[in-house]
Chain A
Amino acid sequence: MKKRKKRTAYYVGVMFGVIVLAFSLINVFSGTKKVSETENRALAQRPKLSVDSVLSGQYASEYQEFFNDQFVLRDAWIKLKTGFDRALGVVEENGVYLGKDGYLLEKFEKPDQKNVSATVEAMKTFREKHEDIPHYAMIIPSAENILKDKLPALVPSVNQDSYLDNTFQELSKSGINVVDVRTALKKNKDQKIYYQTDHHWTTYGAYVAFQQFAEAAGLDASAVTYEKLPVTDQFQGTLSAKSGFRTGEKEEVDVYLPKRNTNTTQEQLSSVIEYTDNQKKTGSFYNTDKLDQRNAYEVFFGGNHGLMKIKTPTTENKRLLVMKDSYANCFLPFLAPYYREIVVVDPRYYYGNIEELMETEGITEVLYLYSAPTFFSDTSLSVAME
């Protein structure tokens, strides 16, 4: 019996030695990688050796990071780990829930009441300053709210509805026109209104919301009809990257083009979009170069920009200011037929003066378009409007 134990120990020793040596050697001889595509970030590189960095301990911690980041078969290890966690019954990784029917849903973090009040206050003040023009606010709940039934059982979620209700009430009181799209989205939840592996809504979801907006803003939504055009089926969303769940899953991204037989077609197609951050002008809402990237949602305007101006050839004379996060990106094209100019500000990347914009652009309507997670956590909107 004892002999057997010894022999077994011997074999375990061999196994341990082989695994340790094999990975150590492969680590040494496999080159360093610059980026991780799954994680969408630069991987740590071999730190530079200097007396200062060694003595401060910085070298050690940077080397550690480098060693971890460059470990061989990184992606495979991540898969093994999330697979093991799933077997253990874990349904949440890095704040992402593994939901039903292939849906990944982002956990809604409890908002900091101070930030929310500051944002709401800033919106109220802004409205008082520009009383003569209509202000609209759309805060789109994230999938965790609309697709509640897709959440894993018993998830202790923070109630977005109560935050939305309170905020909507506050905003309405100050004369801001709140466009609540929850009912409309819920009615359409059997359709794909959110991506399964990404935190954004789909173009269809945006279209549903647009119809609500049109009603509130007195636009004739039926004037333009659209056809759906899939532009890629290779979209791998941020939620799968963030959680490691369903990393192999790829999705379709659609754009909605106005039907060519209507007379508004030319109008939308010949819009000019001016991006002030990189001084570029394009004639399309869609940046098809982005389709080859992992994050194909950037096909809409090539991602977020601090400030962009959409000039359309409509006969309308209205000029709209949109303050927004990335949820707006797939929504904006629906607005084009109704406004002469749409000035789009993403306060997180915009450092200019909004009052000045109001004046120079001759803004006649204001729209806030945010996803609830950004609206309730971001502090840049109140700062930008100061």
Chain B
Amino acid sequence: MLINSLNFIFAFLPVMLILYYVVPEKWKNIVLVLFSIYFYAWGEPVYVILMLFSAVLHYAMALEIKRQKESGKGAKGTLIFTIVLDIFILCFFKYYGYIQEAVNQLFGTGFSADALGLPIGLSFFTFRNLSYIVDVYKGKCPAEKDFFAFTAYASLFATMSAGPIVRYADVRQDFHTHQVYMSKLGEGAQRFIIGLSKKVILADQLALIGSQIQEYGDNLSVVSAWIYLFAYTMQLYFDFSGYSDMAIGIGKMLGFHFQENFQYPYVAKSVTDFWRRWHISLSSWFRDYVYIPLGGNRVSVVKHIRNILVVWCLTGIWHGVTWNFPVWGIYYGILLILEKYVWKDKLSKLPGWVSNTYTMILVMFGWLIFMNPSFDKGLTMFGALFGIGATGFMDVTAGYYLKTGILLFVICVLAARPALSRFANKIMEKSSVITVLVYGVLFLICISGLVFNSYRPFLYMQF
């Protein structure tokens, strides 16, 4: 199930919330676990076992680590065992198809080289559980005794498919208190509607423009290529941050406080700044569990550069199995090294709009690598941006999308900056009526968009 689908919003959510609100405190985690299992099994009726196995494993291993530490023994072995197992599962599912292919080539065997379907949210829940086990080992988080509290966290439907990678240490208290009231539900609803609007009104519409421009294939003009890249850049942000907003909103409805995952990344004034604002829960995960254990920046320059490259290569690999992802990661690693050791503080001396433009151009080139699994295609598109192989500077396509998309593009640019929400908040602070109206209208438009997705007129009389 997707949290932006009609049957989530109009069947799963109300039933779950009502039950969750009415049962006594000690039952709330059990309700969450049951509904999360149902939610997960909806899309993955088989892999739900894997997801639960991972939850139980980390619950048990954390207690084991605690026991070993209390009895004065080292718990390092248990920790390493768990980490290795996690990484093995992650790699097994991600690279199953590739491994089979390699085996077939080596031994001439004929296994059918179908990639296993990647279990939904595998990368997210594995990273979540990993953070827990490491935190327990380091004493940053107590080992949870309450089985349902931990399993509710480890299987939580809201953050399952697209994060954020919430850490148990941050939310443990919430899973024991479950503070819920109407105004929290309202805050959660506000956040959920914002996220849903980002996804349905902005991202889905941008995706449509992107796919239409792509239909024209290699024959892009310079302006078309830029529109395409711009639309993709915006789509990615609103899609992803929309999901995060929805997850955070649902969390609020349940009485949980999840960390922010995005802080207006497209106003960043350097690439370093961008990564402090984009998918914060992932970059801070890599910082805390890879970068700092490797020594972070408190080592020699050479080792520091190595650390940065390792972390960013892994960040890339985390995003996908094709070659372009590690390249995309290393691209960022190099940029961060340049900003740290070559540009130094030159960037901060530039006017804000210059450093923001510099950042956005590099980020957009990054997305170009990110979206193209084939090197040739990425290169063709990169060329088109600068007129190499383009069909001229401007064509009808570009004019058409500029004209019909301009309002959407302007809304996107405004919505990606904090000024608009500051302005909206000011108005909303003044009037409850306007606030309710604005959210109500946004919600209705989103529903209409979701219904429209299933609008498929059958045109047998087409011919």
Contact = CB atoms under 8 A, between A and B. Distances in A.
A351 interface: no
B428 A8 contact: yes
Given A10-B186, A12-B186, A57-B44, A19 B443 contact: yes
A242 B429 CA distance: 43
Most-contacted residue by chain B among A13, A55, A80 (CB, 10 A): A13
A15 B436 contact: yes
Contacts of A55: 45-46
Nearest to A4: B429
Nearest to B461: A295
B277 to A, nearest CB: 25
B75 interface: no
Given A12-B190, A67-B7, A68-B6, A39 B458 contact: yes
A297 interface: yes
Contact of A39 (B6, B399, B456): B456
Interface string A325-340: 1100000000000000
Contacts of A94: 455, 457
A308 B403 CA distance: 48
B459 A40 contact: yes
Interface residues of A, number: 74
B451 interface: yes
A54 B11 contact: no
Nearest to A303: B461
A45 B220 CA distance: 43
Interface string A251-291: 00000000000000000000000000000000000000000
Contact of A40 (B6, B43, B436, B461): B461
B405 interface: yes
A15 B182 contact: no
B5 interface: yes
Contact of B451 (A74, A89, A153): A74
Interface in A68-84: 68-69, 71, 74, 77-78, 80-82, 84
A21 B453 CA distance: 22
Interface in A165-193: none
A374 B396 contact: no
Interface string A292-332: 00010110000110000000000000000000011000000
A156 B10 contact: no
Contacts of A241: 457, 459
Sort chain B's interface into a size bin: 35 or more
B413 interface: no
B423 to A, nearest CB: 16
Given A12-B189, A57-B44, A154 B182 contact: no
Contact of A10 (B13, B183, B395): B183
A378 interface: yes
Contact of A156 (B400, B439, B447): B400
B185 A17 contact: yes
Nearest to A19: B443
Contacts of A90: 205, 404
A5 B463 contact: no
Nearest to A41: B458
B435 to A, nearest CB: 5
B246 to A, nearest CB: 13
A154 B396 contact: yes
Contacts of B451: 68, 71, 74, 77-78, 81
B339 to A, nearest CB: 38
A110 B217 CA distance: 12
A157 B397 CA distance: 8
A65 interface: yes
Interface string B50-82: 000000000000000000000000000000000
Contacts of A57: 43-45
A271 to B, nearest CB: 24
Interface residues of A, dominant DSSP: helix
Interface string B424-454: 0000110010011001100111011111111
A127 interface: no
B288 interface: no
A38 B457 contact: yes
A4 B429 CA distance: 7
A110 B182 CA distance: 55
Interface in B177-225: 182-190, 192-193, 205, 215-216
Nearest to A7: B432
A38 B405 CA distance: 28
B463 A78 contact: no
Given A27-B10, A238-B459, A12 B448 contact: no
Contact of B457 (A16, A20, A242, A348): A242
Contacts of A325: 463
B406 interface: yes
Given A78-B452, A89-B407, A298 B182 contact: no
A153 B461 contact: no
B227 to A, nearest CB: 12
A4 B186 CA distance: 13
Contacts of A65: 454
A80 B445 CA distance: 7
Contacts of B9: 20
A60 B43 contact: yes
A384 interface: no
Nearest to A238: B459
Contact of B456 (A19, A41, A89): A41
B317 interface: no
A5 B427 CA distance: 11
A17 B395 CA distance: 48
B341 interface: no
Given A4-B429, A8-B429, A303-B461, 4 more contacts: A20-B9, A94-B457, A110-B215, A238-B459
Interface of A: 1, 4-17, 19-21, 23-24, 27, 38-42, 54-57, 60, 63-65, 67-69, 71, 74, 77-78, 80-82, 84-85, 88-92, 94, 110, 152-157, 199, 238, 241-242, 244, 295, 297-298, 303-304, 325-326, 348, 374, 378
21 contacts: A7-B183, A8-B435, A9-B183, A9-B190, A12-B189, A13-B186, A16-B185, A16-B193, A16-B439, A17-B189, A39-B456, A40-B461, A55-B45, A64-B1, A71-B454, A78-B451, A78-B455, A80-B445, A88-B205, A241-B459, A304-B463
The 4 A-B residue pairs with the shortest CB-CB distance, nearest first, are A13-B186, A41-B458, A9-B186, A16-B189
